[in-house]
Amino acid sequence: MAVKRFSDDSSIKNTYRLSRGAASAAIPNTPTIGVATTVNDSSATVAYTAAILGATASSFTATSTPGSLTGTGSSPITVSGLTASTSYTFTVRATNSNGSSSESSASNSITTLAPSGSFESIATVTVGSGGSSTITFSSIPSTYKHLQVRGISRSNRSASFANVANFQFNSDTTKANYWSYHALGADGSTVSAFSAAEQNTAGVWGALSLSNNGLANTFAVFVTDILDYQNTNKYKVTRCLQGLDDNGGGWGDIKIVSGLWKSTSAISSITIVDNTTNNFMQYSSFALYGIKG
Amino acid sequence: MAAGATYTPIATTTLGSSASSITFSSIPQTYTDLVLITEGIGASGGSYDVDMIVRLNSDTGSNYSFTYFYGNGSSTVSSRSSNSTNAIVGGVNDSGRSMSICHFNNYSNTNTYKTFIARINRPTIVAAFVNLWRSTSAISTIYLYPDSSKSFAAGFTFTLYGIAAA
Q: CA-to-CA distance for A129 and A165, rounded, in angstroms?
A: 19
Considering only CA atoms, which of A191, A13, A247 is closest in space to residue B66? A247
Distance from CA of B26 to the nearest CA of A (A): 21
DSSP state of B64: E
Q: Are residues A264 and A172 in the same domain?
A: yes
Query: What share of chain A has pLDDT > 90, as a percent?
Result: 67
H or E stretch including A23? helix A10-24
Same domain, A197 and A283: yes
Q: Is the pLDDT of residue A261 over 60?
A: yes
List the CATH number of the domain containing A58.
2.60.40.10
Nearest by CB to residue A290, choosing from B3, B65, B130, is B3
3-class SS of residue B20: coil
Instruction: Assess whether A239 and A130 both reside in one domain.
Output: yes
* Listed residues A111, A132, A164: the one ending a domain: A111
Nearest to A229 by CA among A158, A167, A182, A164: A167
Domain boundary at A88, A111, A134, which?
A111
Q: How confident is the model at residue B46 (pLDDT cuts 50, 70, 90)?
A: confident
Sequence-ordered list of residues with C-beta below 8 angstroms from that of A32, at least 6 positions apart, any chain: A48, A49, A51, A104
Same domain flag for A160 and A280? yes
Q: Is residue A286 part of a domain?
A: yes
- Distance (Å, whole) CA B142 – CA B36: 10
* Whether residue A218 is found in the same domain as residue A248: yes
Residue A143 and residue A66 share a domain: no
Mean pLDDT throughout A158-169?
84
- E strand or H helix at A15: helix A10-24
Q: Give the residue with greater pLDDT, B1 vs B136.
A: B136
Q: Is residue A2 part of a domain?
A: no
Is there a single domain that holds both residue A170 and residue A283? yes
What is the per-residue burial (b if ≥16 Cβ within 10 Å, else e) of A218-235?
Answer: bbbbbbbbbebbbeeeee
One domain for residues A99 and A181: no
Confidence of residue A18 (pLDDT cuts 50, 70, 90): very low
Range of the structural domain that residue A100 is part of: 10-111
pLDDT of B123 higher than 80 = yes
Same domain, A147 and A282: yes
pLDDT tens across A214-260, in order? 888 999 999 999 999 999 999 999 999 999 999 988 679 999 999 89
What pLDDT score was predicted for residue A21? 40
Q: Given pLDDT bands bounded at 50, 70 and 90, which one contains residue A24? A: low
State the CB neighbour count (10 A cutoff) for residue A96: 16
| ipTM entry | 0.94
Q: Does domain B28-163 have CATH number 2.60.120?
A: yes
Regarding whether A126 and A69 lie in a shared domain, the answer is: no
What are the C-alpha distances in Å from A113 to residues A28, A53, A78, B5? Answer: 34, 37, 15, 11
Closest C-alpha among A62, A259, A90, A291 to residue A168: A259
What is the side-by-side order of every strand in the sheet holding A146-153?
Answer: A191-196, A181-186, A252-261, A236-245, A220-226, A146-153, A285-291, A119-126, B4-5
Are B5 and A116 an interchain contact pair (Cβ–Cβ within 8 Å)?
A: yes
Chain B positions in Cβ-Cβ contact with residue A188 (cut-off 8 Å): 67-68, 78-80
Q: Tell me the shortest Cα–Cα distance from A272 to chain B, in angstroms.
A: 18
Is the separation of the CB atoms in A266 and A143 below 8 Å?
A: no
One domain, residues A280 and A251: yes
- All residues of chain A having their beta carbon less than 8 Å from the beta carbon of residue B139 are none
Peptide bond into A76 cis (omega under 30): yes
Cα A225 from chain centroid (whole Å): 18
CB-based contact B105 A246, cutoff 8 Å: no
CB contact under 8 A, A244 and B65: no
pLDDT in tens, A191-204: 999 887 667 788 88
**Is residue A3 a part of any domain in this protein?**
no
Cβ pair B131:A220 closer than 8 A: no
What is the C-alpha to C-alpha distance for residues A126 and B32, in angstroms, rounded to an integer? 12
A48 and A136, same domain (yes or no): no
Name the residue in chain B with its Cα closest to that of A243. Answer: B130
Is 80 exceeded by the pLDDT of residue A16?
no
pTM (2 decimals)? 0.78
CA distance B125 to chain A (A): 15
Domain boundaries, chain B: 28-163
Distance set, CA B137 to CA A29, A131, B80 (Å): 61, 23, 24
A83-116: pLDDT as tens digits: 888 899 999 999 999 999 999 999 999 988 777 6
- Which residue, B64, B79, B86, B65, is CA-closest to B125? B79
With CB atoms and an 8 Å threshold, state whether A254 touches B115: no
Q: Domain ends where: A111, A128, A148?
A: A111
- Residues A244 and A289: their CA atoms lie apart, in Å, by 22
Q: In this model, does residue A161 exceed pLDDT 80?
A: no
- The residue type at A246: D
| CB contact B2 to A (< 8 Å) | yes
Interface of B with A in 85-114 (CB under 8 A): 103, 105-106, 109, 111-113
